[in-house]
Each structure stands twice: as C-alpha cells, then as structure tokens.
Chain A
Amino acid sequence: MKTHITFQNKLIVKKIGAPRKKIPHDIKKKTMLALTGGEAAAMAMKQVNPDVAAVYPITPQTPIMAAFSNYWADGAVNTEMIHVESEHSAMSACVGASAAGARVMTATASVGLALMFEILPVASGTRLPIVMNIANRALSAPINIHCDYSDTMATRDQGWIQIYSENAQEVYENTLLAVKLAESINLPAMVCQDGFLTSHSIENIIVYPDDIIRKFLGTRKPYRPLLDVKNPVTYGPLQLQNYYFETKKQVEDAMNKAKKEYLIVGKSLKKITGTDYEYFESYFLEDAEYAIITMSSTAGTTKVVVDKLRAQGKKVGLLKIKLYRPFVYEEYGKALIHLKGIAVLDRSLTIGAECPIYTDIKSTLFNMYVNAKKKFEIPKLQSYTYGLGGRDIFESDIESVFEELEKGKLSNEKKYIGLR
C-alpha cells in the first residue's frame, strides 16, 4: 500500500547575509553564469532542495558542499544538513533518512567513497534513491588528490547508477536527471565529474528557472517509508540463503529498467533544456573509420582533435560515455560495428585484468558478433591507460592515438599514454 508523505515544506528564503559570490539565490529565468563544476553541482542541489544532506568533506568534493552550505546558511534551501564524522557515517545517515521517506543527497570522492563502500550495496539493496555527486579522484596509496576514475570504477558493481559529466553544464543537468531517474526505479545514483579539472574549473553554464526545474522534479513518493507510522514496516532484515538471491535479482531488474527510464526522464528534461540525453554522445561517429571511446573532460579535449583531423580529411570520431551503469551493450554495439579501429581510453586500472571500459566494450563487440545474422568484420580494439593520479592528457597525445589506430598497430597488449 503506497502513501505520500509530503516533506518539502513551503520554501521561505531568508537572506541572512549577502551571497558569497555573484551567484544568485533565486533563478527566475534562464541565465548564463560563471560557475565551477562544484558550484554547478551545488546549484542543482539547491534547485532540488533535498530534505536531508549528510556530508563529510574531502578534496576535491568540498567546494560542492561548501557552496551548498552557503545556500543553506542563507535560507535558500530548507535541507536538514547533518555534519557527520566520516563518509561511512554520511552514507549511513543518508540510508536512514531515505528509508524514512526523505529525498536525500550527498557528495564525496576517492577514499571517501572507498570508506562508504560497505553502505553502497546497503543503499541499492534496500532500494533507496539517494543521489550522490562524485568529484573523481585517485585512490591511495600513494596519496594523490587529482583526477582518475579508480574511485567510481571500484564501485561499479554495487547497484548504483553511474553517469559521467564532461563539463559543468552536464554536471548540473545530470544531477537533476539523476534525482528523477533514481526515484523512478528506486535505486541510488552517482553523478561523476573530473576532480579539479571540472570541479575547480570555471566555465560558462546556463541554469534554468527554479520553478520550472522544481516542477520537473516533483516530490518524492516513497515506497513504504518508515515515517508512515500508520503502516509500519521493517527495513534492513537478515535474509538467509532462501531469500537473498531473489532480493538481489530485484536490484538487477531495477537497474535494467533504468535503461528505459533514463531515456524517458531525459525526454522530459529536454523539454526544459533542449539537450538530448542519450546513453552516450556520438561525435562524428556515424561515418568514422577510427574512433576513441572515453569519458568526462578528456572527451572535450578529444573533440578538438577530431575537428582538427576531420579538417585534414581523416575519418575519425569520438564516442563519449555518459551512462556507464547500467551499461547498454546493444546500443554501444550498434554504434561501433562499422568502425575499423577503436581505442578505449581508461583512466583507471583493473589490476590483474583488462581495464573496465575496455572490458565492457570488448563484451559488446563479442555479443554483437555472436548474435549477428550477417557476419561483419569486428573492429580492432586497443586498450589505453592514461591520466592516473591526474597526469595530464594533451591534444597531441590524442592525435598520436588516432595515428596508431590508422597505422593498425593494435593488439591485446595494453598501451600507456604519458607513462615514463
């Protein structure tokens, strides 16, 4: 029996002090602002106005919650902010609040995400639509505060939706999309951006009016929330060998349902922003011979190189991954089978095995080939590891990758970009 519990009380904005920066509290019309990726995430959070945000700081996520705290301090949101003692506690508090029926958001990075690891499958197993912003940062040891995807890649199996953002605009829009998507299938979601490269980089960003975004978001309609005391329920039971398997299958089914729901929520958001929310972005891919597959800010740099090489008559393209979990194998396959050569650029290691995105793409091509009615020439695939610990990747590096693809010097042996 479902019930509604209205949490989001009428918003009364009290201007206690002047805003810290030239960032308005109230967005009344479509506006172009100068925001960092972190501030963009905070702006999205402001418009979501979650009931609860349990947070613990960590570089490079801290600016997200610092900017959100400004809104909170000035009364622009009526979020209950819980300042906890660790990321493990942050996610635990989020799980409790979400089970109670609240709309919950948080943010973390790197070792903070690693510390919360125990609770990540608790959130997905208990079917709680928590939305978390991640500023991707390398895991220790050695200690490194700069960008790579070892943190979120390590958690890709735990039943959280994962969306990667190229720039501040995408962070803002993906966060709003994630809130609705998570609630449509009752699974938690991570919205990822590059630590420092996006999170601390000021860019142009268009933000949309508060009221229109709030109308898009609606309110959460929780399933059997704890605070519905007239219909009590037990959360977080023990399930023995005879039940656990089925509950986990339900999580898988929900994640699979996310594939369709992502497009539906995206269509709804497109009515406001005009952007297409697809699983991945195809940049000059349709008629390309050689393509690079990558994510986040590296994709931006790659676009510049694609433009340069296309001007020289080379048929190159880019596939930029946006929705990474669930992984839509078939869709990727359809977009890639016509290519002669593909370079997959992974910014993380799977130590002892092949890189994460490379592995998923390889499976995609295998699936396509085995199930194809008409056999085709499988594109050659080359794995690259780049940018660990924030090692810069340059346009010249990307050009070299396209050159290697053209020369056909591809194999199962992984290559490294920028490694001494």
Chain B
Amino acid sequence: MNSELKSHKKMEPGGLTEPASSLKNKTGSWRSMRPKWDAKKCVHCMFCAVYCPDNCILAKKGKRTETDLNYCKGCGICANVCPVNAIKMVKEHEGGKK
C-alpha cells in the first residue's frame, strides 16, 4: 500500500488514482490452503476456471494453465467443482493437523 501520505495541496483531485491498482494487492499472501493441480488427470473442461471467484485460473490455447498463486486465496471452490478430482487442497504451511 502507498505509505507516503501527501498534503491535500499535493494530492490528486477528485480521488483519482492510477488504474488497476488492485493488482498491487497480492491477496494470495494470507492463504492457508492451496490447490494442487494434477495436470495428467485434467480434462480441460474449464469448470474450475469459470467458478474461480478471483479469476486465478487462466487458459492458454484452450488448455488450463497453473493457478496464479499471487491472488489465489485457497477457497477450495476449484477442487469442489472439478468433475475428475484433478485438484486437491493441501496445507500452505507445515505444522498442525490436516
């Protein structure tokens, strides 16, 4: 986040800010579970990509690619909807029960 707080005389008027500033906020940093994708089992149906609430699963040339872990919050919806169980949620950090 922007830490330098300017005087009202130097700030941009009207609250205008740079575009796409939400990209700077890497919401994956507070994840406790992460999705593990088995590319061999995957049938590229794109269910996971459509359901992901953070748009973290993208496709290239009609095939699913790796989850963007910068923004993935580990909600588990992708694992939940996968029809072939190609995605498993695993712990982000070691320690504690499963």
Contact = CB atoms under 8 A, between A and B. Distances in A.
Note whether A and B contact each other (Cβ less than 8 A): yes
A237 B17 contact: yes
A127 B18 contact: no
Interface stretch (A12-20, A103-111, A243-251, A276-284): A243-251
B13 A243 contact: no
Interface in A23-63: none
A237 B5 CA distance: 16
B95 interface: no
Contacts of B14: 125-128, 186, 223, 235, 247, 250
B7 interface: yes
A234 interface: yes
A253 B14 CA distance: 12
Interface in B1-31: 5-8, 11, 13-21
A245 to B, nearest CB: 8
Chain A interface, >50% SS class? loop
Interface residues of A, number: 23
Residue of B6, B17, B18, B21 contacting most chain A CB atoms (<10 Å): B17
B59 to A, nearest CB: 25
Contacts of A249: 8
Given A233-B18, A234-B18, A234-B21, A246 B7 contact: yes
A232 interface: yes
A229 to B, nearest CB: 10
Contacts of A233: 16-19
A126 B13 CA distance: 8
Interface string A239-282: 10011011101100110000000000000000000000000000
A242 B15 CA distance: 12
A247 B17 contact: no
Nearest to B10: A246
B72 to A, nearest CB: 23
Contacts of B13: 127, 186, 223, 247, 250, 254
Residue of B6, B16, B17, B20 contacting most chain A CB atoms (<10 Å): B16
A139 B11 CA distance: 38
A349 B11 CA distance: 38
A352 interface: no
B16 A250 contact: no
A375 to B, nearest CB: 37
A237 B17 CA distance: 8
A127 B7 CA distance: 18
Contacts of B8: 245-247, 249-250, 253
A224 interface: yes
Which 7 A-B pairs rank lowest in CB-CB distance, beginning with the nearest? A246-B8, A127-B14, A232-B19, A249-B8, A126-B14, A234-B17, A127-B13
5 contacts: A125-B15, A232-B18, A235-B14, A237-B17, A246-B7
